[in-house]
Amino acid sequence: MADDAMLTREGIVHLLDEAGVDVVAQADDADGLLRAVTRWSPDVAVVDIKMPPTHTDEGLVAAQRIRDEQPDVAVLVLSQYLEPSYAMRLLERHPEKVGYLLKERIFAAAVLVDALHRVCDGETVVDPTIVSRLFRRRRDDDPLATLSRREHDVLELVAEGLSNKAIADRLHVAARTVESHVTQIFLKLGVDTSPDSHRRVLAVLSFLRH
Near another protein in 135-164, by CB under 8 A: 136-140
Least distance in Å: CB of 83 to another protein? 5
Least distance in Å: CB of 138 to another protein? 4
Stretch that binds another protein, among 22-30, 76-84, 150-158, 184-192 (CB under 8 A): 76-84
Q: What angle, rounded to 10 degrees, do the helices at 128-136 and 84-93 form? A: 110
Distance CA 19, CA 12 (A): 10
Compute the Cα dihedral for 36, 79, 29, 110 and give only its sign: negative
**Is position 134 an interface residue for another protein (rule: CB under 8 A)?**
yes
Nearer to another protein, 7 or 22 (CB): 7
**Is position 8 an interface residue for another protein (rule: CB under 8 A)?**
yes
Least distance in Å: CB of 103 to another protein? 5
**Is position 209 an interface residue for another protein (rule: CB under 8 A)?**
yes
Near another protein in 173-202, by CB under 8 A: none
Burial 10-22 (b: 16+ CB within 10 A, else e): eebbebbeeeebe
Instruction: Count the residues of the shown chain that bind another protein, applying the rule CB under 8 A.
Output: 33
**Is position 32 an interface residue for another protein (rule: CB under 8 A)?**
no
Nearer to another protein, 25 or 88 (CB): 88
**Is position 92 an interface residue for another protein (rule: CB under 8 A)?**
no
Out of 38, 68, 69, 80, point to the residue binding another protein (CB under 8 A).
Answer: 80
Near another protein in 102-131, by CB under 8 A: 103-104, 106-109
Give the binding site for another protein (CB under 8 A).
5, 7-8, 10-12, 14-15, 18, 50, 56-57, 80-86, 103-104, 106-109, 133-134, 136-140, 209
